[in-house]
Structure 1
Amino acid sequence: MTAISLDHVSYTYSSGTEAIKDFSLEIEEGSTVALLGSNGAGKSTLMDMMLSWKKAQGITIFGKDICDYGRKELGRTLALVPQSENYNFSFTVLDYTLFGRAPYLSELGSPGFEDIEIAFNALETVGLQDFAKRSITALSGGEHQLLLLARSIAQQSRILLLDEPTSALDPANRRKVMAILWNLHEKGKTLVFSTHDANLALELATHVAMLRKGSLLTFGQKERVATSELLTTLYDTPLTVYSIEGKTFVY
């Protein structure tokens, strides 16, 4: 089943800058798709459109026009893991993770036992269960990124969108996040992540969509599109794809 469909989608900012140009893409349920491109290629704008933060015609989610989704229904369908987030209050780690349960609560409702259990399980998934009562202001940068991931896991959406999920992580936390995301993929979650790191795309994704100046350069299974020629065109710089012990690397 098609999870996300973009049919000749375009987006122009109020300044007149055309960020996305006649963009068409179909993302199948259960796949992990990398939106790969350099800074300014349109990756973040495209994800904002998928979240309905930026309005555009031609986007359907599981066959339903995105304009026909209510806020809570869309929140149960898509969740976002941003690169970072500013804290205005000193919540505990558990309370912050519980924000992921908002699409399931009534307007004035409070999280119940089941919501707390789901949030705590999400913290266990990312390894932060021992920090449940700690203030979020006491977390390190890597722990903060894991918390954002835990909140989105607690949201239990069918699709998980991630904006540059490992860009600010040290090697240990990068590997940890990669393992968590791969586990989610194996459980059938649809993942879409933006990155400018070709090696990350080749390591984690099943499919790669290459974005260049707001347009789709190519899309397909990573084994088909990960060529030296296409990557050199994508980044306007010489890149070579190597295969070492069954793994593909870009240099």
Structure 2
Amino acid sequence: MQTFSHDGFEIAYLDRPPVSGSGDPVLMIHGFASSHYVNWVAPGWFKTLNDAGYRAIALDNRGHGVSTKSYDAEDYTPARMASDSAALLDHLGIERAHVMGYSMGARLSAVLALSDPGKVATLVLGGLGIGMVDGVGDWDPIADALTADDAGTITHDRGKMFRAFADQTRSDRRALAACITTSRALLSEDEVARIAQPTLIAVGTRDDIAGSPDELAALMPNAAVFHIEGRDHMLSVGDRSFKQRVLQFYADHPL
């Protein structure tokens, strides 16, 4: 991975062109407690995109992976986190890109489309539907679960799930606890309605976190929905049918 400096953080990223050496760029933004590797390399997204002729790019969000950590919640507002992705495109000299985000990364992608619309040619919002607007439940216990000294004392089901995920990915749990405090700020219906880019919203049919993708799409002027059959929030990101649908979406909307 390479790094660049922005807003006091060293942001790590992976930039992999296709074998042909050129191709439309796709910037991928991972979810909470994840990393570029967990969301995009291990599930095969880099290979899928490169094999299809696309330039695959992904960063480790601040507080995640090998990027700089902060324990100040104000460093993790969606606007500040999305600005890292905008700065990465500038750093790479990319004027416009396809942008794909999963879960928290979907929220950051939507914020990027609003703050820097000229940089975002299309959007893929994975693992987040109307929860982007009306919330995805009570996440305060997740911060408590992340900072608990003994994981065995955690009783909140979603807290257990994210604590186990954070431990599996060897994340800085204190940084994640700061991140979860502010990164889940909601977008308004009016903000979502201003996202004019062609958008694909993809959510697993067993996902109990994201909220309805159809309700989110109904607020947007140019959005389509893909239901990832039989997948929950954790397993949807690597689903083969999801990859196939994204490739078709990009073929329909070239830069």
TM-score past 0.5 threshold: no
Q: TM-score, normalised by structure 2?
A: 0.30
Structure in which a larger fraction of residues adopt helix: 2
Structure in which a larger fraction of residues adopt strand: 1
Q: Per chain length, whose mean CA-contact separation is higher, i.e. which structure has more relative contact order (CA < 8 Å, sep 6+)?
A: 1
Larger Rg: 1
